[in-house]
Chain A
Amino acid sequence: MHAHSDDLVRDLSRKAQEFRIQVLKMVYNAQTGHLGGAYSVAEILTALYFHHMKVDPANPGWEERDRLLFSKGHACAMLYTALAHRGFFPPEELMTFRQFNSRLQGHPDPIKTPGVEIAAGPLGHGVAIGVGAALAMRQKIQKPSAQSSPSPRASAGNVYVVLGDGELNAGVVWEGVMSAAKYRLGNLTAIVDYNGIQQTSASMDSMPTEPIADKWKAFGWHVIEIHGHNMRQVLDALDHADEVHAKPTVIIARTTKGKGVSFMEYDHRWHGQPPTKEQYETALSELEKGVEQWRN
């Protein structure tokens, strides 16, 4: 593991905050979409697409790319924003989000949108699909040791699954978790955007999932817990996961739903509602101040 420079941390942090502004504009323009879960996952997606993963925007299907399976599909406004700014499609297209005749569907469509790996929206699929993807990456390479215990160092590409804590309610998640441990998929990393809020209430009220680290440990995964809005911790955790061999890793990223806008933070009503004009202006002003914080 190497230390990440202050400049890198600052640049990525600023970028994540700028993406929140972009997402605000998209959802306000469309008057439909999901802000809360998009804001909690901003630093995670920024770290993956703009530093950690090897991808080629000019060739989205590059066989040896790292795969990001975005399981919490409702938060796709942030995914689309990261993909566009990374060069997978023109950022101008972002304002067609959720409009008729757009490539940017209400939930991710891997056929329509360059860079999107899987359909998502029905929750809970990412880990199990990630198992298939990680096994496929293992099959592609010839290193004999990788056949029994693949690692990020012996895989055609790594697989990153980004899921929400609400998804942990779904049984198929745990089916996938067990298979990943069985096949010792060191080339698979799950990142739980643990924002603690679901559509109707706090996760603790909808369906308690704690002690979540213990659960993943008991299922045979390597567990890292971080502050998911601290860019340095996100970057370090991803590096750490790369050095865990023969075992899948989960990064439990403690986040805040609606992060960056005071009246949205930790309020389930901002799971899927668009802002009014007044709310939009207040949110924009707060987010712009947040960007200033990351200027030199």
Chain B
Amino acid sequence: MAQLVPMRKAFGEALVALGEKNEKVVALSADVFNSDHSYMFAERFPDRFFNVGIAEQALVDVAVGFALNGYIPFANTFAAFFATRAVEMVRSHACYGGARIKMMAAYAGLSDSFDGPTHNSITDLAIMRSLPNMTIVVPSDPNTLTEMLTQIAEWDGPVYCRLNRNDVPAPFDSSYKPQIGKAFTARDGGDVSIIACGLMVSRALEAAEELQKQGVSARVIDMHTIKPLDNEAVLDAARATGAIVTAEEHSVIGGLGGAVAELLSDQAPVPVKRTGVQDRFAETGPYDKVLDAYGCAVKDIVDAAQAAVKAKK
């Protein structure tokens, strides 16, 4: 098992570093800053940190007020609340009204596993992806997040960025320079392509190892930007390998798998198998166990890849 590194701490440190570089950066919280680690920014920049209480709708609207008046607000709460309770605020003012807010969506996917399904966010990518003008980033590990946070601040539009609650494997080191909107081929292969995001990138790499033993050569793509999707990378993978698997910590409806399937059905139809949570809520338990039981196991990816390869003509 790969060594695990803390994602939350990496976020807190990266946000402080960003605050040092750019005085226009402010941070807002809906009273969970000790959870998401934005408290580190609060300690360093108390005059640029605002806690609006347990009020996620106001969190987004207050951030909108900052964004429309010359600041770069990083709004912090749990993913599940941005993409459910506050979504009208996001749609009306960030996506339609042009407020360039940065939503740091903590405890994303199944990563708040012990708090259970109320705190999981397995529909957020689908919800956010349907909104015009939205940009969605799902960093796979602390290095990727650290590299992308500056780009998120400078990005000319609202950004929804998923953050994993837990210590996670780090497939990439600081030599990895991800760019918003540009997919990265983490492993090359010719028989099938696994397109993954977030924690599932490391699991996809594990699956590729296993597939290798089974005689299948798999390409693994880190699709850290769900929107705008790197269409060229997806089309190239489809044409070069003829079969696609998607892997995400999200419902199989409407997220990364949905985006890839929509594109390929239109422009390069090849077998596509989507892995992820099967249109249901998960349950409480240890993170790995919940992931494995709800469609995010390495074996799910391996099986899907074999099925996709078989489905090729």
Contacts and interface: CB of A to CB of B under 8 A. Distances in A.
A178 B93 contact: no
A129 interface: yes
Given A125-B89, A133-B66, 16 more contacts: A63-B70, A110-B98, A111-B98, A117-B68, A128-B62, A128-B65, A131-B58, A131-B62, A132-B66, A132-B69, A132-B73, A136-B69, A136-B71, A171-B57, A175-B57, A183-B50
A24 to B, nearest CB: 28
B61 A176 contact: yes
Interface of B: 26, 47-48, 50, 52-53, 55, 57-58, 61-71, 73, 88-89, 92-93, 96-98
A122 B61 contact: no
Contact of A140 (B50, B55, B61, B70): B70
Interface string A109-133: 1110000011101100100111111
The 6 A-B pairs of least Cβ separation, nearest first, read A132-B65, A128-B61, A119-B97, A175-B58, A136-B69, A175-B55
A179 interface: yes
Contact of A129 (B52, B62, B88): B62
Contacts of B97: 109-111, 118-119
Interface of A: 63, 67, 109-111, 117-119, 121-122, 125, 128-137, 139-140, 147, 171-172, 175-176, 178-179, 182-183
A132 B48 CA distance: 12
A125 B93 contact: yes
Given A147-B47, A178-B55, A183-B50, A132 B61 contact: yes
A63 B63 CA distance: 18
A191 B63 CA distance: 21
B46 to A, nearest CB: 10
A171 B57 CA distance: 9
A172 B57 contact: yes
A133 B69 contact: yes
A134 B52 contact: no
A162 to B, nearest CB: 15
Contacts of B93: 118-119, 125, 129
Contacts of A179: 50, 52-53, 55, 58, 62
A134 B61 CA distance: 12
Contacts of A172: 55, 57-58, 61, 89
A137 B69 contact: yes
Contact of B48 (A133, A134, A139, A175): A139
A136 B53 CA distance: 18
Contact of B66 (A63, A136, A178, A183): A136
Nearest to B50: A135
A175 B86 CA distance: 12
A252 B170 CA distance: 56
A176 B62 contact: yes
Contacts of A67: 69
A132 B53 contact: no
Contacts of B53: 175, 178-179, 182
Most buried by A among B62, B66, B73, B97: B62
Nearest to B61: A128
A160 to B, nearest CB: 13
29 contacts: A110-B98, A117-B68, A118-B64, A122-B92, A125-B61, A128-B57, A129-B61, A129-B68, A131-B58, A132-B67, A133-B65, A135-B62, A135-B65, A136-B65, A136-B69, A139-B71, A171-B57, A172-B57, A172-B89, A175-B57, A176-B58, A176-B62, A178-B53, A179-B50, A179-B52, A179-B53, A179-B58, A182-B53, A183-B50
Nearest to B55: A175
Contacts of A128: 57-58, 61-62, 65
Given A119-B97, A175-B52, A183-B50, A130 B65 contact: yes
Contacts of B73: 132
A133 B98 contact: no
A169 to B, nearest CB: 14
Contacts of B92: 119, 121-122, 125
Nearest to A136: B69
Nearest to B58: A175
B64 A136 contact: no
Contacts of B96: 109, 119
Contact of A135 (B55, B58, B66): B66
B93 to A, nearest CB: 6
Contacts of B55: 172, 175, 178-179
Contacts of A130: 65
A178 B51 CA distance: 11
Nearest to A126: B61
Given A118-B97, A183-B50, A134 B65 contact: yes
Contacts of A140: 70
Nearest to B69: A136
Contacts of A117: 68
B88 to A, nearest CB: 6
